[in-house]
Amino acid sequence: MKEREEENVVALYAEEQQPESQEWQKSIPAQVFLNYFFAINYHIKNTSGNGLEQLAFFREVKPELTEKDTEAVKRLLLNSWSTEYALRATAELGDEAYMRNALHWTFPQAYYTVFAGLQAFLRTRGVNTNNDALVLREAGRLVVKNAYPHAISFYASGHYDDFNVHRLPLAHYKPGLQIAGKELEAQAQIGQFLRTTRRMKAKAVRQFVQGNAATAIRSSKTGEILQKFGPQHWQQLTWRIGYTTLFDLMARLRISSSHREIERFVQAEIDFKLFHESLLEIVSYLNGIHECYVAQAMGLQQYEAFVQELPKHLQNSFVAARLKEQIKPLLLPGEEDYQLGAAA
């Protein structure tokens, strides 16, 4: 299933923007992908009220973690942080030629560091799974429930080619090929990214369902497995897709390092440094959100002790910086309330 998804991912680059010439063809798919992630980062940085303190979901008292849950969460965070460390190491080298060729691993690193942090957050909510599709579906439900700040609470729903984009009021505008310089352009590009990604997911689900004789939708007249889908057939699959959120957009980075399509990115004439910076800032923001939730569930004192005992490469790093700059200011004023609530 994962291989099929990856094939669909690369096929959709051409679908998102049709190149006008062979020369354009070399760079447009990569430029569009850069535009998308730059637009997401632009939207996050230019949307007010981006913290968790304003969310009712965050203030809800959650069940206390068991020792088993706590250890599992710690392992997931270590995976997330070690992957983010590797992603940041590429930026420290600073050479654009290096960053260009580093796409083979920075793309999947950006996704898997966020995925591990998301798993840690879900574990504090009683969701324990390594299945990518289930994790993304649970994340979608939390996005819709307003568990995330407004800047990343957008999502797409609906049946194939009848999609609705929510919480992005400017998403219906047609995006251009330029880097977003206004909120309208950023939302237009994110909206397109949501729609094309949801279309990709729908096609992958159809391929999976129709490839199994036991689950395939068949013709009511002949009983044969359907080859062509109409709206009524697509509607039978929509429930399998769930909501399409930022986490599904991050999953678009799961490109095999051996796939020929990555070479088109490497050979493209785009700003690779800007691409890497955009990815890293999105990763840092998302991981910070999940760390706040985990620290809340563990209790600030236990979380601090865990951070102080991290392996050498993570000591005094971005982990400690986010603890000081984001988590402590958020949890210190009400830490006693959280502990009392959990104990109750």
* Tens digit of each residue's pLDDT (9 = 90 or more) over 256-281: 555 666 777 888 888 999 999 999 99
Q: Residue 155 belongs to what H/E stretch?
A: strand 155-159
Q: Which two tokens stand for residue 103?
A: 């796409």
| pLDDT of res. 49 | 81
Q: Identify whether the C-beta of residue 72 lies closer than 8 Å to the C-beta of residue 80.
A: no
Looking at the DSSP assignment, which residues form a beta bridge with residue 168?
Answer: none
Q: Which of 140, 255, 248, 236 is nearest to 198 (CA)?
A: 248
| pLDDT digits 0-9 by tens, 28-78 | 788 999 999 999 999 999 998 888 999 999 988 777 899 999 999 999 999
| pLDDT of res. 8 | 42
| pLDDT of res. 343 | 33
Angle between helices 260-267 and 22-45 (to 10 degrees): 80
| pLDDT of res. 344 | 30
- Letter string b/e over residues 6-34, b meaning 16 or more CB atoms within 10 A of that residue's CB: bbbbbebbeebbeeeeeeeebbbbbbbbb
- Please give the angle made by the CA atoms of 263, 266 and 271, to the nearest 5 degrees: 155
What average pLDDT score do residues 5-10 get? 41
More confident residue, 223 or 190: 190
Q: Which of 293, 296, 288 is nearest to 335 (CA)?
A: 296
Q: Identify whether the C-beta of residue 288 lies closer than 8 Å to the C-beta of residue 322.
A: yes
Residue 202 pLDDT > 60, yes or no?
yes
More confident residue, 124 or 24: 124
More confident residue, 59 or 115: 115
Q: Identify whether the C-beta of residue 84 lies closer than 8 Å to the C-beta of residue 112.
A: no
**Secondary structure percentages of the chain, helix, strand, coil, to 5:** 65, 5, 30
| pLDDT of res. 277 | 94
Name the average pLDDT for the chain. Answer: 87
| pLDDT of res. 142 | 97
| pLDDT digits 0-9 by tens, 121-178 | 999 999 999 999 999 999 999 999 999 999 999 999 999 989 999 999 999 999 988 9
Q: Identify whether the C-beta of residue 286 lies closer than 8 Å to the C-beta of residue 152.
A: yes
Q: Which of 303, 283, 328, 343 is nearest to 74 (CA)?
A: 303
| pLDDT of res. 104 | 84
Tell me the CA distances in angstroms from 137 to 119, 123, 192, 282, 289, one per residue in order.
12, 14, 20, 20, 18
Give the SS3 label for residue 228: coil
User: What phi, psi does 157 have (nearest 5°)?
Assistant: -140, 180
Q: Identify whether the C-beta of residue 272 lies closer than 8 Å to the C-beta of residue 26.
A: no
Place of tokens 């440094």: 273
Residue 19 pLDDT > 50, yes or no?
no
Q: Which two tokens stand for residue 321?
A: 């910086």
Give the SS3 label for residue 75: helix
| pLDDT of res. 258 | 55
| pLDDT digits 0-9 by tens, 274-324 | 999 999 999 999 999 999 999 999 999 999 999 999 999 999 999 999 999
Residue 9 pLDDT > 90, yes or no?
no
Angle between helices 67-93 and 96-124 (to 10 degrees): 170
Cβ neighbors of 321 (< 8 A, separation 6 or more) are none
